[in-house]
Chains A and B, each alone.
Chain A
Amino acid sequence: SQTIHQWPATLVQPVGSPLSLECTVEGTSNPNLYWYRQAAGRGLQLLFYSVGIGQISSEVPQNLSASRPQDRQFILSSKKLLLSDSGFYLCAWETQRNTEAFFGQGTRLTVV
């Protein structure tokens, strides 16, 4: 069966420090991968999506970037965190048949 792993679950980082959140999927190949930020009253804001290795589409201009170095690995990064980067980040995958999305456990990021 397919599973998705996202870590860490919580993270506290100082302003100006780098960020790396990792997401891996098991049990499937060539998934579409997504990074979302969830905020109260704003739903799930799509940040990045990827349809293949090295293929990244950015939805919102911001201080973050994403990479997909392997088929089932999706990384969310920042060189210098801002206070406004605090939030709850979710990774998700779905098959390339545009069907159900499956979510990781999420990462609560607090920038201090």
Chain B
Amino acid sequence: AQSVSQHNHHVILSEAASLELGCNYSYGGTVNLFWYVQYPGQHLQLLLKYFSGDPLVKGIKGFEAEFIKSKFSFNLRKPSVQWSDTAEYFCAVISTSGTYKYIFGTGTRLKVLA
């Protein structure tokens, strides 16, 4: 069955620290991968996505993610976090083979201390 695992549920960092959030998925076929962010009191919004091509994708606000097919991973990174990055981050997967199930991970709450 298709599933997504996010290993870190709560992360606390100081400003300027580097960030890496883990995401692993379970699915035998080809997938599209996403990271979404939910700032306090706001809707979920897309941070970045991977469909094909260069496995290192860049998103908004300095975020990037690397797709490692052999590890079924799509980890999110940012070299230097800011207080405004405080939010909840969700990894998501949808298969490209027609099951149409858009599956999200359990989310990681990031708190950045000023």
Contact = CB atoms under 8 A, between A and B. Distances in A.
Interface in B50-91: 51, 90
B104 A46 contact: yes
Interface residues of A, number: 24
A9 to B, nearest CB: 12
A92 interface: yes
Given A43-B104, A59-B101, A103-B43, A98 B90 contact: no
A36 interface: yes
B104 to A, nearest CB: 4
Nearest to B97: A98
A34 B32 contact: no
B12 interface: no
B6 interface: yes
A44 B96 contact: no
Interface of B: 6, 9, 32, 34, 36, 43-44, 46, 49, 51, 90, 92, 94-96, 100-107
Q: Which 3 A-B pairs have the closest CB atoms?
A: A43-B106, A44-B104, A43-B107
